[in-house]
Amino acid sequence: MNYIIPFLILITIVVFIHEYGHYYFAKKCGVGITDFSIGFGREIFGWNDKSGTRWKICWIPLGGYVKFFGDRNVFSESEQQEVINKYNEEDRKKLFILKPLYQRSIIVAAGPLANFVLAILIFAIINMISGKDMTPALINEVVKDSPAFVAGMKKNDKIISIDNKKVESILQVSTFINISTSETIEFIILRNDQEISLPVKPNLVDGEDSLGNAVKKRMIGIKLSPLNNEFNKQPLGPSKAVYYSVKEVWFVTVTSLNYLGKMFTGSADTSQLGGPIRIAKITGQISEYGLIPFFSIMAYISISLGLINLFPIPMLDGGHLMFYLIEKILGRPLSQKTQEVFFRIGLFLLVSLMFFVTFNDLKDLGLF
């Protein structure tokens, strides 16, 4: 229960924000909405608002949906006339399928974008309340015969960039090293006021993260320590807080895409790809450290949800946007039969992915 309750809170908030993005812009565009659901399956409880929308919580808490008036889903309808003929002129104004292409695209894209906005807001609040670490990354020790030693790193070197990513905090060093998928990592260090480029080939070792979970780590053999053993954590003003928040969201997005690309080419560790079970486990572990770590992981999960939903896979928001792009290019929607073929492919891909990440999750729990 220590893991399940924090996970349910996190996933409910993230999914609600995603679906509310769709809902908000659908209402702005005059689209009728019959259902706003958190979760799938049988309804636990719900209520109707004054516009007739049914707000409900369902038993399977792994997603949600907004159902539009007269519509089965949000992809382009080619055989529209049969649907249109069911409604009078007033009701037709509420049909999603009759809205201009740009409005349909905005409504669909609003869900993932809402997740990015949520992440930016969370990071900004944390930056203003807790502050952002700005401690310089000074090397305190270089292990003899380690990759860093072989590359020429020395005590008191200051790391200023890793693989062209500027190091603004001592806490970023291990992150940048472990997200790198290159065989050799490029370090820029500052020594005696001179910048020196040092390529380092890390060792891949079995280890544990800060929560005790088994992970593959890239190690180069250095120990870092803040000057006078004091971390320089600075609360930021609103503008700087938002700036660094946007920067963090962009970094996580680009890094995730790069890592996924490396997975497809076989040069990244696919065992690190997790699903709901691992998310629940990590959420429960992190929630024990307080609200700020809990909301931090919520921001990262929100980014992941927004990003995954933008993939051009039918059944996801990105798949709908792909259909709209094709509709724009062709000047007409794809035929219903063609769309159904794409949706079957999308369903197969999503089910395959779910099986894969669930297997990783169970293996992580020691069940395989």
- The DSSP string of 83-108 is HHTTS-HHHHTT-GGGS-HHHHHHHH
Which helix H or strand E contains 337, and what residues bound it?
A: helix 336-364
Write down the catalytic residue from 19, 77, 248, 327: 19
Q: What does the block give as tokens for 176?
A: 């940048």
Please classify residue 143 by burial: count the beta carbons closer than 10 Å to its beta carbon, then call 0-12 exposed, 13-18 middle and 19+ buried.
Answer: middle
What is the model's pLDDT at position 149? 93
- Please name the residue that has the structure tokens 């008036």: 69
User: Is residue 19 among the annotated active site residues?
Assistant: yes
Ordered by where they begin, the domains of the chain are: 4-129+303-364 (no CATH), 132-234 (2.30.42.10)
Residue 358 has a CB neighbour count (10 Å cut-off) of 15
Three-state SS at 233: strand
- Please name the residue that has the structure tokens 């891909």: 349
Length of the chain (residues): 368
Please give the Cα distance from 248 to 244 (Å, whole number).
6
Please classify residue 142 by burial: count the beta carbons closer than 10 Å to its beta carbon, then call 0-12 exposed, 13-18 middle and 19+ buried.
Answer: buried
Query: Which pLDDT tens digits describe the chain residue by residue (368 residues)?
Result: 567 888 888 999 999 999 999 999 999 999 999 999 999 999 999 999 999 899 999 998 888 999 998 775 444 444 566 667 777 778 888 888 889 999 999 999 999 999 999 999 999 999 999 888 888 889 999 999 999 999 999 998 999 999 988 998 888 888 888 888 788 999 999 999 899 999 999 988 876 665 566 667 888 999 888 766 677 788 889 999 999 999 999 988 988 888 788 777 766 666 666 666 666 767 777 777 788 889 999 999 999 999 999 999 888 899 999 999 998 999 888 877 888 888 888 888 888 877 777 776 666 655 55
